[in-house]
Amino acid sequence: MPRKQKRALSGHTLFIGLPHTSFTLAFYIPTSGIKFIVKKRLPKNTLPALAVGLFMVLLVLRPSYFLDSASRGLLLFATSVLPAVFPFFFCSSLLTALGGANALSRLGAKPVRALFNSPPVGAYVLTLSMLSGYPIGAATTADLYLRGAIDSDDAKRICAFTSTSGPIFILGTVGSAVFGSPVCGAVILAAHYAAAVTTGIVFRGRRKPSPPRILPPPADHDGILAGCISSAALSMLAVGGYIVISNMLVDALSLAGLGKLLSSIPSREAAECLNALIAGAVEMTRGSMAAADIPDQALAVALAAAIVSFGGLSVLLQSHVFLSRCGVRFSSLLARKAVQCAAAFIYAYTLSQIIFTNL
C-alpha cells in the first residue's frame, strides 16, 4: 500500500521587528489562512556588551594584575610612542595649516591620480604617513577634510594607501631590536609599502576625484601655533588611551588561558603562528615580538609584515577616531587593512624566499 505523501505548503512569510524590543513577529500566510509566530532574537549589541561585561569582571577579580598591565601600557606610551609620534603630529598639523599641502600636492599629483584615482592632496598625505607612521595619515586626512580640501569619497580613497607605519619603527624597532637583523627590517618595510600601494589600487573606485582645491592661507597667524599644539596634545591622549586598553586586552587573553590552549596544539610552529596572529590582531608590537620566535625565518618575517600592515585593534581604533570625522565607517577601514595585511604577507614571504635562501 503506497505511503501517503506530505503536501508541500505554499505561502509567504512576513517578518516584522518590534521596535525597542528583542522580538520579531513572523506572519506565515498559507493558502488555508494566517499563522502567527513569535521569534526571539538578541539585541544588536548583545555580544559586545557581554565581552565588555566579562572584561569588567576580570578587572574586579584581578585588580593588581590589570593595574600592572595598565602601568606597562602607560610606560610604553610615555617612553616610546609619545616622544616618537607627538613631534610628527604637531609638525604635520602645522605644515597643513601653513599651506604646505599645496606645494607637495603639485609634485605628486599625476602618480596618485593614475594609481589611486585620488586628488593631488593624496600625495601630501602619503608623504607624511610614510615618514611619520601611524596614525598620522588618518589624522592628516581628517584635517584636510575639515578644512574643505577633500570630500568624504576622497577621504575613503586616500585612507586606503596612506595607513602606513614609519621607517623608524619598522627598521629600528621591528628589524634591529625584535629580529636582530636590518635585512629583515628592510624586507618588512618594502612589503609594507608595496601592500599599501596595492590596497590603494584595489580601492581606487570609479568615480572621478573632486577637483583640486587650494587651501586658503591662514587668517590668524598668531593662533596657529597654539591651535596645532592643542590639536596634537588631544590626539596623543586618544592614542595613549587605546594603547593602554589594547595592552590590557592582550593580558586579559593570557589570563583567560590562551597560552594553555595554544600549548595543547601538537605543532609548535602552528601554535606560535596563532599566538603571533592573536597578539598582533590587538597590538602590533607584541604581535611582531611573538612572530620573531617562529623558527622558520621566511614565515616569521612574512607574519611580522602582515601584523605591522594590519596594525592591530589599537591602530585601527586610533585611525578611526580621525577617519570617522570624514564619514569613513569602521567596517570600511577594516576591509582596507585586511587587504593590506594579506598583500604584505604575500610580498614579504616571496622576498624572504628569494633573499634568505641566497644568504
pLDDT of 199 strictly over 90: yes
- The share of the chain scoring above pLDDT 90, in percent, equals 38
- Higher-pLDDT residue of 3 and 263 is 263
What was the pLDDT predicted at 137? 92
What was the pLDDT predicted at 351? 95
What was the pLDDT predicted at 54? 87
**Structure-block grid coordinates of residue 340:** 593590506
Which whole number is the average pLDDT over 202-214? 76
Which whole number is the average pLDDT over 224-238? 86
Per DSSP, helices labelled H in the chain are 46-61, 63-76, 82-97, 100-107, 109-116, 121-132, 136-146, 152-161, 167, 182-202, 224-255, 258-263, 268-282, 284-291, 297-310, 312-323, 330-356
Residues 141, 146, 149, 151, Cα dihedral to 10°: 80
What was the pLDDT predicted at 185? 94
What was the pLDDT predicted at 197? 96
Which whole number is the average pLDDT over 179-192? 94
**Structure-block grid coordinates of residue 253:** 587573553
Q: Which of 283, 285, 287 is nearest to 246 (CA)?
A: 283
- Higher-pLDDT residue of 348 and 253 is 348
pLDDT of 220 strictly over 50: yes
Could you tell me the sign of the dihedral formed by the alpha carbons of 125, 126, 132, 135, in that order?
A: positive
CA angle 76, 82, 88 (to 5 degrees): 145
Q: How would residue 40 be classed by pLDDT, with cut points 50, 70 and 90?
A: low
What was the pLDDT predicted at 4? 47
Beta bridge pairs of residue 36: 27
What was the pLDDT predicted at 304? 96
What was the pLDDT predicted at 6? 45
Tell me how far apart the alpha carbons of residues 263 and 241 are, in angstroms, rounded to a whole number.
Answer: 31
Q: Which of 258, 335, 272 is nearest to 304 (CA)?
A: 272
What was the pLDDT predicted at 7? 46
pLDDT of 209 strictly over 50: yes
pLDDT of 344 strictly over 50: yes
What was the pLDDT predicted at 333? 95
What was the pLDDT predicted at 336? 96
- Average pLDDT over the chain, rounded to an integer: 83
b/e burial code for range 283-317 (CB count within 10 A of at least 16 → b): bbbbbbbbbbebeebbbbbbbbbbbbbbbbbbbbb
* Each residue's pLDDT tens digit, 280-336: 998 898 889 999 999 999 999 999 999 999 999 989 998 999 999 999 999 999 999
* Each residue's pLDDT tens digit, 133-166: 898 999 999 989 988 889 999 999 999 999 999 8
What was the pLDDT predicted at 345? 97
Per DSSP, helices labelled H in 173-283 are 182-202, 224-255, 258-263, 268-282
Helix (H, G, I), strand (E, B) or coil at 211: coil
